[in-house]
Each structure stands twice: as structure tokens, then as C-alpha cells.
Amino acid sequence: MNEFELIKRFIAPFGAPSSPAGPGDDCAVLPPTRGSVVTTDAVVEGVHFTRRTFSLEDVGHKALAVNLSDLAAMAATPTWFVCALGLPADVETADVQALARGMAALAKVHGARLVGGNVTRSLQLSLTITAAGEARHPLLRSGAKPGDGVYVSGQLGDAAAGLELLREHATPSGDEARLIAAQRRPAPHLAWAHAAARDVSAAIDVSDGLLQDLGHLCLASGVGADLDSSALPISEALLSVSGSRARAADFALRGGEDYVVLATVPEARRTAFERRMGRAGLAAFRLGTTSRKAGVRLDGQPVGKRTGFVHFD
């Protein structure tokens, strides 16, 4: 199968493009915007997944999900994305269609439109996506002030625990399967971000572990933070599988790939924010508060330097 046939098969599940838009010309043509945001993120075989532990639908889903999570952190509404594929020689037409199916299903949920792409040979299967969203007032990492509440949009640590289970070749129990699903199929928290946006002073998505990403937000905002370990949102599945609250808390604090939104909310907005999220049926887990004093502390103790999941060092 040649490059052009392969591209045709890949884009089929995404439905017909509406004009003005690609794919099919040298560039995709995009409509005017009143302000947008853009992000790029890749998933690479052997680094972010293996074909033994992920289905190709999972891979297609996750490649887009990690980009949409960046859009969620800015409270942006997904608009378009492009996908560059690196395909090893043993990847067949059916494989490419499976990647596309997983990606297209998630794209449809969030209204993100595939407008272009690229295909090249490579030794590792890789998907590099660039995704854009509309955001007239994007949330930044730098807006937190001392005394803001620190919230996350969902439970922490499941995906990292799921990764360990995948490595162990386990035949998963129900709880284990939940954690593995969190690893394979992260769900970008776009609805949460849109509901929260008006009260939020700063936000980031948690991809490298809570402590590390909170550290980035604090540094960008010029604040520190105090967290309460008892407030960490830990799923029943994680608690059950990890065997102890301490071990579960370690996944929640340092495990990567949660893809929840971490947001700060000024004290003056606290009541309105918590009530509004509650009325919308959305969890808002309050972990602590930001502080004038730099650094992140857990139950009063400074957290170490090596705080999270580092893909690369």
C-alpha cells in the first residue's frame, strides 16, 4: 500500500471534512479565529506504550487525549488537529485503521476536527499530534496568588498504578482493569475546565505527577503551596490494588499521566465555585492552598526535588 492509499484509509473514520479545511492540499485552510491556543504532544512506541500492552485503538485514543488535556488546562474548546504518523514496516492497513478508529471516536466526542497529517516510515510506531482550540480568555499557569485554593478535577494515581500492572503481565481483576483503563484511555477533563474557568486563577494539566506539575504552576505564579495528604483523591480501585493508603498516596503524588486539571481558585470565589461545580455534578477536590512562601509542602514537610514522573533524563 502506498502513502496516498494509506492516508485515505486513515482519514476515513473521521468523516468528510467540512470546508474550509483539509486534509488534501499542501495545507489545511482554517477559518478566522478571535483567539486560539495550540499544543503538540507525541506518543512513541517503547516510551509511552507497547503494542503488547496497548491495542492500536488505545494508542490512537491516547495520542489525541494527551493533547486535548493540554487544551482542557487552558479551558479551550477543541477545534482542529493534525496528526503525523511514524509507521514501522510491519504496520498494516488494518493497524492504521485501528489507530484511526480510536482517535476518531475521541475526536467526535470533543468536536475536534482532523484537518491534516503526514506519514513517514520509522522504526517505532509514533503519533505526533498538534491540536488547537478556541479560547478567548485562556487559563495560564501564572495567575495564582497566595491563599488560593488548590483543586484537581479527578482522582490521582490510577494511570501510574495501571502502568505497573501492565508491566507485570497480570491477568487483571476488576479493580486492576480500572487502573489499566486509566492508563490506556485517559479522558481529557474538558467539561470540568469549561465549568470551572470563570473562577480559576491558574491551571495546568497533571501529566508528570501532581507534585511536579503543581511545582510548575507555583514557579510560573511565584507562589508556593501547602497540601494536605488526607485530602488526596484516591480511587477505591487504587486503594484496593496498592494495599495501603501510603502506597496509594505515593502514586497520587508522584505518578504520571493522570490527565486531570489542576486549578487554583481565589478564596473569594471558593463558595461560588464549589457550589457551582457540585450543581453540575463535577468533582472539585481541594488539596490545600497556595502560599507566599516558595516550594511545595505536604503536611508541612517540604517535598523532595525528584517529585514526579520524568519521561526524559
Residues between 159 and 188 that touch a copy of itself (CB under 8 A): none
Whichever of 106 and 249 has its CB closer to a copy of itself, that residue is 106
List the one residue from 13, 116, 188, 255 that touches a copy of itself (CB under 8 A).
Answer: 116
| Nearest alpha carbon to residue 253 among 208, 297, 210 | 210
Residues between 30 and 89 that touch a copy of itself (CB under 8 A): 30-42, 44, 46-48, 70-71, 73-74, 76, 80, 82-84, 86-87
What are φ and ψ of residue 302, in 5° steps?
Answer: -60, 140
Whichever of 216 and 245 has its CB closer to a copy of itself, that residue is 216
| Nearest alpha carbon to residue 67 among 55, 57, 79, 56 | 79
CB of 177 vs a copy of itself, minimal distance in Å: 27
**Count of residues interacting with a copy of itself (CB under 8 A):** 66
Q: Is position 268 an interface residue for a copy of itself (rule: CB under 8 A)?
A: no
CB of 283 vs a copy of itself, minimal distance in Å: 20
CB of 209 vs a copy of itself, minimal distance in Å: 13
Q: Is position 310 an interface residue for a copy of itself (rule: CB under 8 A)?
A: yes
Q: Report the distance separating Cα 10 and Cα 253, nearest Å.
A: 38
Strands 301-302 and 296-298: antiparallel
CB of 69 vs a copy of itself, minimal distance in Å: 8
- Binding string to a copy of itself for residues 10 to 39, with x set by CB under 8 A, is what? --------------xxxxxxxxxxxxxxxx
Residues between 193 and 232 that touch a copy of itself (CB under 8 A): 203-205, 220
Q: Is position 114 an interface residue for a copy of itself (rule: CB under 8 A)?
A: no
Cell reading at 10: 486513515
Q: Is position 130 an interface residue for a copy of itself (rule: CB under 8 A)?
A: yes
Assess contact for 117 and 63: CB atoms under 8 A. Answer: no
Residue 227's alpha-carbon distances to 101, 145, 160, 206, 305, in angstroms, are: 40, 16, 20, 15, 16
Q: Report the distance separating Cα 291 and Cα 302, nearest Å.
A: 13
Q: Is position 122 an interface residue for a copy of itself (rule: CB under 8 A)?
A: yes
Residue 20's alpha-carbon distances to 23, 31, 313, in angstroms, are: 10, 7, 42
| Nearest alpha carbon to residue 285 among 274, 271, 276 | 274
Q: Is position 1 an interface residue for a copy of itself (rule: CB under 8 A)?
A: yes
Whichever of 24 and 222 has its CB closer to a copy of itself, that residue is 24
The DSSP result for 196-224, as a single string, is HGGG-SEEEEESS-HHHHHHHHHHHHT-E
Q: Is position 305 an interface residue for a copy of itself (rule: CB under 8 A)?
A: no
Largest CA distance in the chain: 60
Residues, the chain: 313
Q: Kindly list the residues in this chain that would bind a copy of itself in the complex (CB under 8 A).
A: 1-3, 6, 24-42, 44, 46-48, 70-71, 73-74, 76, 80, 82-84, 86-87, 115-124, 126, 128, 130, 132-133, 135, 138, 140-142, 203-205, 220, 310-313
